[in-house]
Amino acid sequence: MTAADILDDLESEQEQLGAVLSRLAPDDWRTPSAATGWTIADVVLHLAQTEEAVPAAVEGRPDAIRWHELGDTVDAAMAALVEAERADGAVILRRWQSARHASLAALRSADPGRPVQWVATPLKPYSLATTRLAEHWAHALDITVPLGLDYPDTARLRHVAWLGHATLPYAFRLAGLPPVPIRCDLVAPDGSSWQLGDPGADSVISGPAGDFCRVGALRLPVAEAKLQVSGPHAATALGLLRNYALT
């Protein structure tokens, strides 16, 4: 997997979401999303605002949006920014389209080996692109599920699954636990197998990749997921799984 691959997949994920958004009626934009307290328009506004922050971060201006002045936590800052800039759906759609193109251009031109300060965490452009794909995918569910629209899983979920597995050591440490090897044996949307982690690990999470990614995005309760755990630490890992950096 190369940096070009993740950037191409990020663009494809955004285009899939864009195709959905382009068909929404004015009332759809005012519909409550699956993100508590936000309408469909609010979710897309949030995506636009965070995409607008990417070029500034790549250029070495991480304080262009002063998150720490907007709230005590990142989530509070994001909510405050959405509250301050709400607009009609058509305006927000244009803003998101412009922002995502600028973000992709910035990521494509970035030095792949130079970390970018992203909110509170330095990330290499490859990893930042992966988090952007994961966020667009998760918020696409927040938009499409309440509207009863289809948003099929694709092979791009491999990036989301990779991100969830890759951040497990951090999740363990944040929970006050020592990181342990976890293997994931996942079934891809096309039925193929995705293997993540040490093949010799005795703690294993297995099952549909879509469920694994939804649990990590907090879009599916663990109890409702068609995932199996085996070994001494797999259940704990599944409970800690997140598809993003925890703050």
- DSSP β-bridge partners for residue 154: none
pLDDT tens digit string along 29-87? 999 999 999 999 999 999 999 999 999 999 988 666 666 677 778 788 889 999 999 99
pLDDT tens digit string along 202-242? 999 999 999 999 999 999 999 999 999 999 999 999 999 99
Distance CA 183, CA 187 (A): 13
**What's residue 7's pLDDT?**
96
**What's residue 2's pLDDT?**
66
**What's residue 118's pLDDT?**
87
Contact by Cβ (8 Å): 135, 244: yes
Give residue limits of the domains in the chain.
3-147, 157-240
**What's residue 246's pLDDT?**
46
The tokens describing 75, both together, are 């989530």
| One-letter identity of residue 26 | P
**What's residue 213's pLDDT?**
98
Fold exhibited by the domain 3-147 = Four Helix Bundle (Hemerythrin (Met), subunit A) (1.20.120)
Alpha-helical runs (H) found in the chain = 3-21, 26-29, 40-58, 74-84, 89-109, 125-147, 157-166, 168-174, 209-216, 234-240
Distance CA 176, CA 194 (A): 29
Distance CA 64, CA 57 (A): 8
Q: What is the 3-state secondary structure (H, E, C) of 115-128?
A: CEEECCEEECHHHH
Residue 141 DSSP one-character state: H
Task: List the single range of 18-27, 57-66, 138-147 with lowest mean pLDDT.
Answer: 57-66
Q: What is the mean pLDDT of residues 5-15?
A: 96
pLDDT classification of 3: cutoffs 50, 70, 90: low
Residue 206 burial by CB count (10 A; 0-12/13-18/19+): exposed, middle or buried? middle
Q: What is the mean pLDDT of residues 10-28?
A: 98
Nearest to 42 by CA among 142, 137, 119, 152: 142
- Residue-wise DSSP of 96-115: HHHHHHHHHHHHHHS-TTS-
Contact by Cβ (8 Å): 92, 43: no
**What's residue 75's pLDDT?**
81
